[in-house]
C-alpha cells in the first residue's frame, strides 16, 4: 500500500527556531493531512491541504504541497517547548475510500527551551 | 469538540487471553477505525467500520476481530492474545461526508501481552 514517509526521522532545535518536516508519498492523493502526537497519546489533527492547493497557513503552521514531486512540508515557525511531539503526515487517496489513508512513520521533534 | 474515548490507557494481559478494547465517540460519526502503532512502522489499519454492524478488514486483520453494535461504540477483540500483539492501539472516528475531513483519535491503549 501507499506509504507516506517523513524526513527527518528526528529533529532537535532551540526554542524560537523554525522546524521543517517533509513528507513524500507515492500515489495520487485527494488531500494530505498533518497530525501531531504527544508522547504516549493519540493523534491530533493539525491541518489539511487539498491536492489543488499549494500552500496553507494556520497560526504558526505553514504547509506546502507539491503534487508533481509528491511531497509536502510542514513548517512550524518560532517553535516553543510545547511543540515537542511527533508529527505525522497522512495521505488520503483519490480512490479506495478513507480507509486507504496512509500514515507515515513520523518526525520526532524536540524543542529545547 | 469531538471526543473519542478508549476504555483503558494501559493494559497487561497474558498470552492466550481474550482481550477487549473499547472505543466510544460522541459525535455521531459513521466511520470508526482501529489502528496499531509500532516504532518505525507508523499506523497500520486493523479494521474499520462505516456503519452499525458493518466492518471491513484493514491491512493487518489477522488475530483480531471487531464489533459495532451501536453507532457510538467500536470494539476491538484479540481472540487469543500473543506477545506480537504488544503495541499501542489507537481508535479513530470521522464523519463520512467526503474525503476532506479529518479523523479524531482516542488517547490510545498501550497493550502489553506477557
Per-residue pLDDT of chain B (114 residues; tens, 9 = 90+): 669 999 999 999 999 999 999 999 999 999 999 999 998 888 999 999 999 999 999 999 999 999 999 999 999 999 999 999 999 999 999 987 677 788 999 999 999 999
Give the residue numbers in A contacting B (CB under 8 Å), as ranges: 1, 3-4, 30-31, 33, 35, 40-45, 48, 50, 88, 90, 92, 98-99, 101-106
The phi and psi torsions of B8 (rounded to 5 degrees) equal -135, 145
Nearest CA in chain B to A3: B42
User: How many whole angstroms separate alpha carbon B62 and alpha carbon B41?
Assistant: 17
* Best to test chain A binding among B33, B38, B43 (most A CBs inside 10 Å): B43
Q: Tens of pLDDT along A16-71?
A: 999 999 999 988 999 999 999 999 899 999 999 999 999 999 999 999 999 999 99
Rg (CA), chain A: 13
B68 neighbors B32 (Cβ within 8 angstroms)? yes
Out of B43, B48, B105, closest to residue A99 by CB: B48
Closest-CA residue to B47 (of B63, B38, B60) = B60
Amino acid at each position: 500500500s501507499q506509504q507516506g514517509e517523513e524526513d527527518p526521522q528526528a529533529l532537535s532545535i532551540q526554542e524560537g527556531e523554525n522546524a521543517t518536516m517533509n513528507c513524500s508519498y507515492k500515489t495520487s492523493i485527494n488531500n494530505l493531512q498533518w497530525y501531531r502526537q504527544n508522547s504516549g497519546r493519540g493523534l491530533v489533527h493539525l491541518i489539511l491541504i487539498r491536492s489543488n492547493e499549494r500552500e496553507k497557513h494556520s497560526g504558526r503552521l505553514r504547509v506546502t504541497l507539491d503534487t508533481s514531486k509528491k511531497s509536502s512540508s510542514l513548517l512550524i515557525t518560532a517553535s516553543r517547548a510545547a511543540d515537542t511531539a511527533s508529527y505525522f503526515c497522512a495521505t488520503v487517496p483519490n480512490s479506495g475510500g478513507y480507509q486507504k489513508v496512509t500514515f507515515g512513520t513520523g518526525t520526532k521533534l524536540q524543542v529545547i527551551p | 469538540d469531538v471526543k473519542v474515548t478508549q476504555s483503558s490507557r494501559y493494559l497487561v494481559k497474558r498470552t492466550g487471553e481474550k482481550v477487549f478494547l473499547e472505543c466510544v465517540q460522541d459525535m455521531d460519526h459513521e466511520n470508526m477505525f482501529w489502528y496499531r502503532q509500532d516504532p518505525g512502522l507508523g499506523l497500520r489499519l486493523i479494521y474499520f467500520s462505516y456503519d452499525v454492524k458493518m466492518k471491513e478488514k484493514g491491512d493487518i486483520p489477522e488475530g483480531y476481530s471487531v464489533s459495532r453494535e451501536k453507532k457510538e461504540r467500536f470494539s476491538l477483540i484479540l481472540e487469543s492474545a500473543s506477545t506480537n500483539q504488544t503495541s499501542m492501539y489507537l481508535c479513530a472516528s470521522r464523519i463520512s461526508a467526503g474525503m476532506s475531513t479529518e479523523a479524531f483519535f482516542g488517547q490510545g491503549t498501550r497493550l502489553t501481552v506477557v
